[in-house]
Chain A
Amino acid sequence: MGWPGKSRKVEELVEAHYSSLYRFAYRLSGFAQEAEDLTQEAFCQAQAKLEQLRDWTRARAWLFTILRNAYLHRVRSSKLENAVSLETLGEVPDRLPDPLPEIDPDKLQKALNELPEPYRTPLILFYFDDFTYRDIAEQMDVPIGTVMSRLARAKAFLKARLMQPAALVAGSDRGEEA
């Protein structure tokens, strides 16, 4: 494919997906500048290997995979990942307050930054971009059961981080009732 046709197609991809790709990059990396850089890099890589995209209905998943790989490459080379172990979750509240307080996006980002990447990515994809379990499994190249268990654990971790004070209140309320 020559440059004129190729560049037009890439520009179509940019138009359709740049904001969702940036949001994914931001939630993945936790930094605006890095998210911007990752988004640009992902589109440059997409331009270079556009021939690999045979099914245009899969363009979004393809771009997300490119971006995730670019992020993982950076993390591996700079050893930036500093995630907590999910073994130390503490107590996870199972009943949440009603109405649920609004989740602070910055607090959410801090909690996401603490999650190891194999748990963070499925969580972001699941909540943010409405990927199915199967899509996530294909994208991460892991079995669907692994995606489900990682999602469950990551979600429990977020609940513990984001809802703990409210849950304690709710729990004490329940205790009083009993």
Chain B
Amino acid sequence: MDCTNARLLLNFLRSGELDPAERDAFEQHLESCPDCGALAQSEQRFDDALTVAMQRVPVPRTLKAGILERLVRSRRPRPWAWISAAAAACLLLVVGFGAWWLRPVEPINIPGLMYVHEAPINAEAIQDWFENNGVAMVVPPQFNINLLDGYDVVEVQKRKVARLTFVARDNIAHVYVLPKDQCPPPEEIPEKLPGSRHTLVSLRDPSFYFIVIYTGSSLAPFYWDSVQGSGRAMNTARLPIAGFTSNT
């Protein structure tokens, strides 16, 4: 080993850091070279002095107790965490309510409202409207659409259902259009509830069934072949409740 390599290794004198062969060569060089030997001794003195000085740090007497106390404190549940969460939730609520309260309110679109009343009534347009509102339905074909007074989506026992309202003279018929897959037809439907002026009738379709609740003696005034209607023939027969049950 020459002096250049030996002086590079001076920094790494600590035992165990050099591999044995390298250490042997290094030590042999230090024995044979007085300059490098003196430098190595000087380096060793500096290392020793630095080690002593580095470790001369007085440790506070209360340190251990302080650490143990803080460890115990950190194990306790922190009520401030709950308080912060509650405060954040309240703030969110206040901000949310404020945003809702201050929301811009759109004025009523008058031409749009008039269009609804003046738009031509036909079964397809009604079915499209319900589809856009997320409700599948068909208009019962035997009903005279010219007698349709209104239609809307109603909630029936937590289900969104299409409802059509027909008016004929002094009588009214509410038709609930129920998809068979989502609202399985009940086994028995009473024709008339005790004390009620309404009559229940069930009509059928491949995918839907209709519950009609109406006033008057029969549904005939609401059909196409009634005196008010256009004379179009019915293509779905009226089924009595019992017949509906046995046919499904």
Q: Which residues of A contact B (CB under 8 A)?
A: 3, 7, 10-11, 14-15, 18-19, 22-23, 26-27, 32, 36, 39-40, 43-44, 47-48, 94-96, 98-100, 102-105, 108, 124, 127-128, 132-133, 148, 151-152, 155, 158-159, 163
Chain B interface residue number, banded: 20 to 34
Q: Is the CB of B49 within 8 A of A44?
A: no
Q: Is the CB of A39 within 8 A of B67?
A: yes
Task: Tell me, rounded to whole Å, the shortest Cβ–Cβ distance linking B8 to chain A.
Answer: 9
Q: Which residues of B contact A (CB under 8 A)?
A: 11-12, 16-17, 38-39, 41-42, 45-47, 49-57, 59-60, 63-64, 66-68, 70-72, 74-75
A-B contact pairs, 28 of them (CB 8 A): A3-B75, A7-B75, A11-B68, A15-B64, A18-B59, A18-B64, A23-B57, A23-B59, A27-B57, A36-B60, A36-B66, A39-B67, A40-B66, A94-B39, A95-B38, A96-B42, A96-B45, A98-B41, A98-B42, A99-B45, A103-B50, A104-B53, A105-B56, A127-B50, A128-B51, A148-B12, A151-B11, A163-B46
Q: Is the CB of B59 within 8 A of A152?
A: no
Contacts of A22 on B, CB cut-off 8 Å? 57, 59-60, 63
CB-CB nearest 5 A-B residue pairs: A103-B53, A23-B57, A128-B54, A105-B56, A100-B45
Pick the residue among B11, B17, B63, B64 that contacts A132 (CB under 8 A): B17
Contacts of B64 on A, CB cut-off 8 Å? 14-15, 18
User: How long is the Cα–Cα vector from A23 to B55 in the complex, in angstroms?
Assistant: 7
Q: Is the CB of B45 within 8 A of A105?
A: no
Contacts of A108 on B, CB cut-off 8 Å? 50, 53-54
Nearest-neighbor residue (CB-CB) of B58 within chain A: A32
User: How long is the Cα–Cα vector from A132 to B56 in the complex, in angstroms?
Assistant: 21
User: How long is the Cα–Cα vector from A132 to B52 in the complex, in angstroms?
Assistant: 18
Q: Is the CB of B66 within 8 A of A26?
A: no
Contact (A36, B63) CB under 8 Å given A44-B70, A44-B74, A99-B45: yes
